[in-house]
Structure 1
Amino acid sequence: MQDSPSHELHEAAAPVPWLRRWWRRQTPGRQDRYAMLAPLAAVLLFLAAIISAFWYLRLEEIDREQEAVRRDVEYGQQRLRLRLLERQEQLMRLARDVSNKDVDAEDFVGRAETLVTQYPELQALAWIDERRRLKAAYAGPSVPTAQQRLPGDLLRSGETEATYSLVRDLQQPVYSQPSRNGDAVPLLQLHVPLADQARFAGVILGEYSIDSLLRYGVPAEVSARYAVSLLDGKGRLLAGQSLPPRGPASALLAWATPQANEFEVPVSPVGNGLVLRAQAYRTSLGVVGSGLFWLVGTLSAMTAWMLIGNWRHTRRRMQAQQALIAETNFRRAMENSMLTGMRALDMHGRITYVNPAFCQMTGWSEAQLVGRTAPFPYWPEEDSEQLAARLDDELNGRTLPGGFQVRVKRRDGSLFDARMYVSPLIDPKGHQTGWMTSMTDITEPNRIREQLQASHERFTTVLEALDASVSVAPLGSEELLFANKLYRLWFGQHTVGHLQMVAQAGVPDTPRSDESLDEVDSFVGLPTGQLTAAQSENAEIFVPELGKWLEVRSRYLNWVDGRLAQMVIATDITPRRHAEEQSAAQAERAQSASRLITMGEMASSVAHELNQPLTAINNYCNGLVSRIKAGQIKQDDLLLALDKTARQAQRAGQIIQRIRSFVRRSEPNRAPSDVAAMVAEAVELADIELRRRNVRLSHYVAAQLPKLLVDPILIEQVLVNLLKNAAESIDNAHRTTAQRSVELRAILREVDEQAVVEFSVVDSGKGLAPEVMDRLYEAFFSTKAEGMGIGLNLCRTIVESHQGRMQAENIYNGADVVGCRFSFWIPVSGAISSAANKDAGVPA
């Protein structure tokens, strides 16, 4: 049963609905791209089909030409081969006759002349015997004289000698191509061997002109159609012509114009040493040279260019539409999401536009506001007249650039503060169509501003009530950024006091430069983080203008405008300085009293020490008086007695002078002092008490100790006090005579990587109890009934004023205490600060 026509039409139209449905599913942008790309693809496909057709036809033509070239070259090669074989047979017959001795030298020349004359490719024939010597030779008229061979000549060195040896070894004809020198004509040589009863008897050498061989061997019809040439084994041209290489223009069209058809084949029986090549002349312009091709290509390119231009124009139009839509959506989204209320009025004061933020602020919807005129529903009743005047100013162009602040009423009746900015609304033609008003809720900023103002007032009140002067000034400038009440009371409103305190305190500051005249911070752009993060610097200065001692503290900070500034806080410490001076005077008096007490405790020992020289003086004087009265003294005895009396008096004077210098009250006087001298003075003073208590004293001072920057009287006071306490400790321990000893040492050592001189006093007493060790340096604490408790406290104060340290420790022998060791050290470096040089308030 055959299908009906309606069924066939339905099947033919079936793809159309499917294609239509697929087309409708695409986006408009993709539909435009397909609509533009489809014609462009059709044009490109048409152009590709035309190019392919031309290319296919051209390839067919090239194949036919290549086949014709190959066939003609093989034909020419066969003709050339037959010609060479005929000449080879003739030379072999001549060689056979020569080997049979049927031909002598004269006959050889005759027959050679016949062959050369009859066959133009033969240029010369030569008979060479087994000794490489020419017996006979003939050359044609075209052979140059320099290349002709004469009977009796030997083979030319390097020319045919190798081939001659090869023929002798193979006993077969051999072709060769001798090397050319200069402009010599290329030749082809044939060596035919001669035999004399199976013995090698030389060769018959035939020389061919390769040019003549090409001219007469290759058929004329082949030479007419092709550029025929003979090449050697290395591809060098021997004879014939070769087509020139393509120029730049041909190279540019190489994609459409294939290379010239050529074919080459080796010439036998010569072998690979001679190659016959034929190159077909170019008779066709190819695909590129076809006018139809260029016409079709030009039309296709113009069509494609117009389609591409139309597509790019459509694409730019779509991009502009999309950008416009995106810009509109962006502006609408920005207006809807911004927190600033926007309101547009026409020239008559009617609301034409409000954004969602404006509606959210007032509580009224867009439908309820658009089209309304004054008075507006968000105006408070009590401010209606003021707002109406503001609106009249807006409509007449009398607006403030900085805006104005108003109160706005919400729909629920609550009020909030708002700031409004008004600007003219200009259309694209440059005409004003209304006024645009932006409204910002400033209720919270106003509250924060009020709190900040109140906080600033409280902060200012606190700073004004401080008993310290506070000032802030930028570096390198004489501008005073801040000054509290006390600073203004001391120095006024100028920055002179600030700079004076900075200079006296030795705080680094940047010198004022010319840039400061323009109020430019010279530290702008520099990394000031390290300055602002640094610790504050303290110093004590005296201001003569005020007659006050001030403690100055300064630090760097970033001011509110970003400039690097310096804050100086000055506190009046004049009462404290007076108290310190009084404390220093009391300490000085306490030290003098301590030395007097020490001498008082040693009074009996000093009296006993002075009694000896005074008794000796009395005895010497009484003896002198008795002997003078009796007239029994000589002059020498008198002088000896007077000399002894003077020495005893001098000894008593030294004892008294040493005691006076020890207990004398004087100002502290630090100077480079010799350690050995200080130890000797202290030993002489303390030795009186130690001998009274029957205590042995041994002392050791290391050699070459450096001098110390100290007050020697104070150091001697510490040593005497420690030696006296050691003697009392031994006496209270009731040690035997062998155990009653005190050792004093002064050595150089290192403490915390610092060189110091250590003084140590070691006794053999009972040591110190733990409860005594804890309160050893406490003022007015003493283990002696008559002690005042200021000796060790003053000793430690003296040592620490010299930047030293003092310590005490018991000496153990197993579990028993066998003595005590007091030690202190003074640094050697001499790097004692100026404040320490003032004895830190501890006088001598």
Structure 2
Amino acid sequence: MQTSNSRTVTAAEPSAESMAAPVRWWRSWWRSLSPTRQDRFAALAPLASVLMFMAAIIASFWYLRTEEVDREQEALRRDVEYAQQRVRLRLLERQEQLMRMARDLGIKELGRSDFASRSEALISQYPELQSITWLDDKRHVLSSQAAPTVATDQLRVPGETLNQADAVNAYQQAREMLQPIYVQSQGRDGEPSPLLQLHVPINSNNRYVGELLGEFSVDSLLRYGTPTEVMARYAITMRDSHGHILAGTPLTLRKRTPSELLNFRAIANEYEVPVSPVGNSLMLRAQAYRTSLGVVGSGLFWLVGTLSAMTAWMLLATWRHTRRRQRAQEALVAETNFRRAMENSVLTGMRALDLQGRITYVNAAFCQMTGWSEQELVGQVPPYSYWPDNDYDNLHSQLREELSGKTIVGGFQVRVKRKNGTLFDARLYVSPLIDAHGQHTGWMSSMTDITEPNRIREQLSASYERFTIVLEALDASVSVAPLGGAELLFANKLYRQWFGSQAEGHLQLVAKAGVLPARRQSRRGEDEDLAGVSDSLTDARSENAEIFVPDLGKWLEVRSRYLSWVDGRLAQMVIATDITQRRLAEDQAAAQAEKAQTASRLITMGEMASSVAHELNQPLTAISNYSSGMLSRLEKGTLTEEQMKFALEKTAHQAQRAGQIIQRIRSFVKKSEPNRTLAQVSEMVNEAVELAGIELRRRNVQLSTHVAERLPPVMADTILIEQVLINLMKNSAESIDHSDRPPGQRSVELRVRPQMFENLKGVEFTVEDTGKGLPPEVLEHLFEAFFSTKSEGMGIGLNLCRSIVESHHGRMRAENLYNGSEVIGCRFSFWLPLATMVETTTLATSTESIPRTIA
């Protein structure tokens, strides 16, 4: 027994130890909490217990109510299925009776008179049976009997054809399946009709001969087929597959009160099943009437709920009061800590003096600035340890003014000594120190280290001085003026030398350069309008123009840009640079370019001199022959008047031809100013072909021309464009001549056609030859000045051609022609825009010379 007791005690010891461990942990955790948190947890415990009690009560009532709802739902389901069985049996009985009639009709045991009497007996005996119709295999009505309650427009007349869509579909199904078919009838307006149709096929010797159509009233079927006790407990309705009510009156769900919502009455207790043998097209739905208050409606529930709510409310009120006290305490502690942290983290040194000048308070920033601790500074009297030795008199004077109340609003600057002996600049602001009772107890000073701002200010001053020196030394005039105003905001030395110190020169430059400022307006409207456009104007790129100022006798290049001035106003900066020497150099270069063009034409005509002489020799020889022939005829006396007239006409034509050749050569070679006019493309091509054809015929090169019909005119200088065409055709002839092509392959083709370039309409001139082409290294430098592939060439022909084309806003290019990998020729082409594309640009630049543009 002792052994047993000892074992029992030993087994119980670990259990007591295990129970003591959580208790010790709980005590240690509770003691580690702050008093505030202990009060918070103590206030939450009663609230949690009341909430748990209320949750248990609500769960109990919820469970009881759920059980009640489940019982009601189960009773509803049983009653609805019972009613569905009764309706189903009634339908099956009527179906059986109609099938017997169909069988008798199929074996011809039932005539029309017998059909009428039997149908009338069935209709009168069974109220749900509204009509019985006998149809043949063509859907024609042979006979029909209907109840007196059937409307006149729904009666079936013998000889009528059944045309309703739903009835026709059911008719076809019954015919194919030879089985009774139920279908929900549709009204004439397409809405569901409260009639149920039964299509029973009629067979005669296994052959379909028609059908028997029975129509049932869904309302009567519901009324006489549903048990009375079921209809007393529920609201019974018949519905189709789309939920439309065919018979019966459903319960109307009115707006629920809060008590009804708590009593689980927001959702109606209902159940529906399909009616066999009709199927899902006819549904029987029942909605239960609410006759009892239920568990939630009992007084016990509300009594317990009210008591629990009152207890919870009182606990919440106590808890809120405790929380309010805790928040006030926490706010006080937080405010104290915040003020202390703010004083210690602010970068401005704070110092408080009493009325006698004794230091009563300094913050951490003041101690950090001076290097002395708070214990060393508090209690000091003048002279203070942070005063420099050589500034005692000045600082004593300022302190006396400070104590007497003579404070400076903007503060004053002093020198302060650190504990390590170094000095720094500081600004002091002094204000009276007023306590909570409104008494003046001393002075509060704030000190800021301004050593770095002073250094930056000095650097800015030096930088501004350097910037001003650079602007004054510029060889360009710089001026700034506000938009819409005549005030000169800035002007450098050169501007003042040219225009003085007024804004008239600035406005004159702006007006002549074509960059007009905003119009003058009222101050009120100016602020509103300029605010909206300042951002876009200041972001815009600078504009420049070249103008001549007669008062100075100089050409100036003017650049302008919008900017925001230092006071926020929108201003315009104008930079004018003297470009007189550059303009003179450009004019000289333009004159040299014009001379180069004339020289190029002279060189071209010099190279074509022998061909021109040969061309002139033909009309001169013809004139000589006609003259000699007429003289010999006159001597013999055989020259008639008609023969003389014919010879003189030929002589005059040849003389005119020689004169035209000479005139074309003179107009081509003659030095003249460029003159851009509306030119017809075909005329320019004919003139160029006439002159270049001489050279091509001399070199035995065949020229073919293809000019598109009805080409629009271009704005061009005809002489210059003819020069480009002649040079291209002459170069093509020389390339063919140097490549030693046989006679059948010595041809140059000139094509002129309309062509689009960069979405612009224009005309493209193309010259193709059958020469040896151009090497790749030559194509890269072909249009450069003084680059030539001829030993005797000057290298300005193609460069001038491209310059002429580009001065007409066109483009020029060159490329080789290939047959596989073999080069079979070269193609030069240039494109000129139509006159409508360049009229505006041409008018704007009509005062400038083309040689200058080429340069």
TM-score of the two chains, using structure 1 as the length reference = 0.61
**Alpha-carbon distance in structure 1 between the residues aligned to 2:833 and 2:653:** 40
How far does the alpha carbon of each residue in 1:374-422 deviate from its partner, in whole angstroms, 9 at most, with x for none? Answer: 2111111122211111111111222211111111111111001111111
CA contact (8 A) 1:477 1:516 kept: no
How far does the alpha carbon of each residue in 1:710-762 deviate from its partner, in whole angstroms, 9 at most, with x for none? Answer: 11111100111112222222333333333332221112233344333221222
Q: How many residues align?
A: 591
1:469 and 2:477 correspond? yes
1:367 to 375, 378, 381: 375
| CA-based RMSD | 4.4
Pair 1:640–1:37, CA change in 2 (3 A): closer
Aligned to 1:435: 443
SS in 1 for 2:383: coil
**Alpha-carbon distance in structure 1 between the residues aligned to 2:724 and 2:791:** 21
5 Å matches for 1:169-208? Answer: none
Aligned to 1:604: 610
Pair 1:653–1:527, CA change in 2 (3 A): closer
Using the TM superposition, give the Cα deviation of residue 802 of structure 1 relative to its aligned residue in structure 2, in angstroms: 1.7
1:692 is aligned with what amino acid? R
How far does the alpha carbon of each residue in 1:589-621 deviate from its partner, in whole angstroms, 9 at most, with x for none? Answer: 111111112112212222222233233334444
Aligned to 1:224: none
**Alpha-carbon distance in structure 2 between the residues aligned to 1:335 and 1:30:** 29
Gaps of 5+ in 2: 1-23, 55-230, 234-257, 263-298, 301-306
CA contact (8 A) 2:766 2:830 kept: yes
SS in 2 for 1:568: strand
5 Å matches for 1:575-654? Answer: 575-622=581-628, 624=630, 633-654=639-660
2:420 to 392, 396, 412: 412
Pair 1:25–1:527, CA change in 2 (3 A): farther
Aligned to 1:788: 794
SS in 2 for 1:449: helix
5 Å matches for 1:62-77? Answer: none
Using the TM superposition, give the Cα deviation of residue 842 of structure 1 relative to its aligned residue in structure 2, in angstroms: 4.3
1:757 and 2:758 correspond? no
How far does the alpha carbon of each residue in 1:751-780 deviate from its partner, in whole angstroms, 9 at most, with x for none? Answer: 344333221222233333445444433333
Aligned to 1:548: 554
1:444 and 2:452 correspond? yes
CA contact (8 A) 2:355 2:403 kept: yes
**Alpha-carbon distance in structure 2 between the residues aligned to 1:635 and 1:667:** 49
5 Å matches for 1:47-86? Answer: none
1:704 and 2:715 correspond? no
Using the TM superposition, give the Cα deviation of residue 444 of structure 1 relative to its aligned residue in structure 2, in angstroms: 1.2
Pair 1:38–1:590, CA change in 2 (3 A): closer
CA contact (8 A) 2:509 2:558 kept: yes
Using the TM superposition, give the Cα deviation of residue 666 of structure 1 relative to its aligned residue in structure 2, in angstroms: 1.6
**Alpha-carbon distance in structure 1 between the residues aligned to 2:34 and 2:632:** 153
Pair 1:436–1:700, CA change in 2 (3 A): same
Pair 1:401–1:621, CA change in 2 (3 A): same
Aligned to 1:538: 544
**Alpha-carbon distance in structure 2 between the residues aligned to 1:696 and 1:324:** 110
CA contact (8 A) 2:622 2:654 kept: yes
**Alpha-carbon distance in structure 1 between the residues aligned to 2:523 and 2:331:** 50
SS in 2 for 1:523: helix
Aligned to 1:190: none
Could you say which structure has the larger radius of gyration?
1
5 Å matches for 1:138-537? Answer: 319-507=327-515, 509-515=517-523, 520=527, 522-524=529-531, 526=532, 529-537=535-543
How far does the alpha carbon of each residue in 1:445-487 deviate from its partner, in whole angstroms, 9 at most, with x for none? Answer: 1112222222222222222222223333444444444333333
Aligned residues: percent identity? 66
SS in 1 for 2:365: helix
1:820 is aligned with what amino acid? C
2:734 is aligned with what amino acid? E
CA contact (8 A) 1:521 1:564 kept: no
CA contact (8 A) 2:807 2:854 kept: no
Pair 1:617–1:623, CA change in 2 (3 A): same
**Alpha-carbon distance in structure 2 between the residues aligned to 1:751 and 1:35:** 89
**Alpha-carbon distance in structure 2 between the residues aligned to 1:727 and 1:234:** 118
2:771 is aligned with what amino acid? G
Pair 1:313–1:664, CA change in 2 (3 A): same
**Alpha-carbon distance in structure 1 between the residues aligned to 2:320 and 2:854:** 101
How far does the alpha carbon of each residue in 1:553-574 deviate from its partner, in whole angstroms, 9 at most, with x for none? Answer: 3334444444444433332222
**Alpha-carbon distance in structure 2 between the residues aligned to 1:367 and 1:748:** 98
Aligned to 1:826: 832
Pair 1:840–1:491, CA change in 2 (3 A): farther
CA contact (8 A) 1:755 1:829 kept: no
Which range moves more in the overlay, 353-362 or 736-745?
A: 736-745
Using the TM superposition, give the Cα deviation of residue 623 of structure 1 relative to its aligned residue in structure 2, in angstroms: 5.0
CA contact (8 A) 1:476 1:521 kept: no
1:726 to 726, 732, 747: 732
SS in 1 for 2:785: coil
Pair 1:842–1:511, CA change in 2 (3 A): closer
1:688 and 2:694 correspond? yes
Pair 1:332–1:630, CA change in 2 (3 A): same
CA contact (8 A) 1:683 1:720 kept: yes
How far does the alpha carbon of each residue in 1:122-167 deviate from its partner, in whole angstroms, 9 at most, with x for none? Answer: xxxxxxxxxxxxxxxxxxxxxxxxxxxxxxxxxxxxxxxxxxxxxx
Pair 1:724–1:36, CA change in 2 (3 A): closer
How far does the alpha carbon of each residue in 1:61-89 deviate from its partner, in whole angstroms, 9 at most, with x for none? Answer: xxxxxxxxxxxxxxxxxxxxxxxxxxxxx
Aligned to 1:12: none
**Alpha-carbon distance in structure 2 between the residues aligned to 1:744 and 1:310:** 108
**Alpha-carbon distance in structure 1 between the residues aligned to 2:746 and 2:712:** 32
Pair 1:22–1:704, CA change in 2 (3 A): closer
2:742 to 726, 732, 736: 736
TM-score of the two chains, using structure 2 as the length reference = 0.61
**Alpha-carbon distance in structure 2 between the residues aligned to 1:843 and 1:23:** 98
Using the TM superposition, give the Cα deviation of residue 675 of structure 1 relative to its aligned residue in structure 2, in angstroms: 1.1
